[in-house]
Amino acid sequence: MALKALDIYKLLPKKNCKECGDPTCLTFAMKLAGGKADIDLCPYLEKEAKSVLGATTRPPIRLVTIGVGERSFAVGEEFVLYRHEKTFYHPPGILFKVSDTDTPDEIRAVTTRVRDESFVRVGADLRFNGIAVENASGSDEAFANAVMTVEKAADLPLVLMAKKVDALAAALVHCGTYRPLIHAATRDNFKEMCALANRHGCPLVIKARGLDELTSLTRACSGEGVRDLVMDLSPQSLSDVITTSTAVRQLAITRNDPDLGYPVFLDATFSEMQDAAIALGIVKYASVVVTAPLSPASARAALTLRQNIYTDPQKPIQMNPGLYRIGSPGNDAPVLLSVNFSLTFFTLEGYLEATRIPCFMLVVDTEGLSVLTSVAAGKLNETLVRDSISKFLVGSEVSHKKLIIPGYAAPLSGRIEEATGWEVMVGPRDAAEIGDFLEKEWKK
Interacting residue ranges for ligand SF4, rule: CB under 6 A: 12-13, 15-20, 22, 25, 28, 42, 44
Using the minimum distance from each CB to ligand SF4, give the nearer residue, 50 or 402. 50
Tell me the closest approach of the beta carbon of residue 48 to ligand SF4, in angstroms: 15
Angle at 231 between CA 225 and CA 232, to 5 degrees: 135
* Amino acid occupying residue 121: R
For CA atoms 364, 368, 371, 374, give the dihedral sign: negative
Tell me the closest approach of the beta carbon of residue 426 to ligand SF4, in angstroms: 59
Using the minimum distance from each CB to ligand SF4, give the nearer residue, 37 or 352. 37
Query: In this structure, are strands 64-66 and 73-75 parallel, antiparallel, or unpaired?
Result: antiparallel
Tell me the closest approach of the beta carbon of residue 261 to ligand SF4, in angstroms: 24
Using the minimum distance from each CB to ligand SF4, give the nearer residue, 30 or 208. 30
Using the minimum distance from each CB to ligand SF4, give the nearer residue, 24 or 269. 24
Tell me the closest approach of the beta carbon of residue 40 to ligand SF4, in angstroms: 10
Tell me the closest approach of the beta carbon of residue 372 to ligand SF4, in angstroms: 48
Using the minimum distance from each CB to ligand SF4, give the nearer residue, 19 or 430. 19
Question: Which are the contacts of 424, defined by CB distance < 8 A and separation ≥ 6?
Answer: 402, 403, 404, 405, 413, 414, 416, 417
Tell me the closest approach of the beta carbon of residue 21 to ligand SF4, in angstroms: 8
Cα distance between residue 308 and residue 285, in whole Å: 14
Considering just the CA atoms, what is the radius of gyration of the chain in Å?
27
Using the minimum distance from each CB to ligand SF4, give the nearer residue, 17 or 432. 17
Tell me the closest approach of the beta carbon of residue 9 to ligand SF4, in angstroms: 9
Using the minimum distance from each CB to ligand SF4, give the nearer residue, 28 or 422. 28
Using the minimum distance from each CB to ligand SF4, give the nearer residue, 20 or 252. 20
Query: In this structure, are strands 322-326 and 359-364 parallel, antiparallel, or unpaired?
Result: antiparallel
Are residues 60 and 34 in contact, defined by beta-carbon separation less than 8 angstroms?
Answer: no
Using the minimum distance from each CB to ligand SF4, give the nearer residue, 22 or 259. 22
Tell me the closest approach of the beta carbon of residue 44 to ligand SF4, in angstroms: 5
Tell me the closest approach of the beta carbon of residue 11 to ligand SF4, in angstroms: 10
Are residues 158 and 130 in contact, defined by beta-carbon separation less than 8 angstroms?
Answer: yes
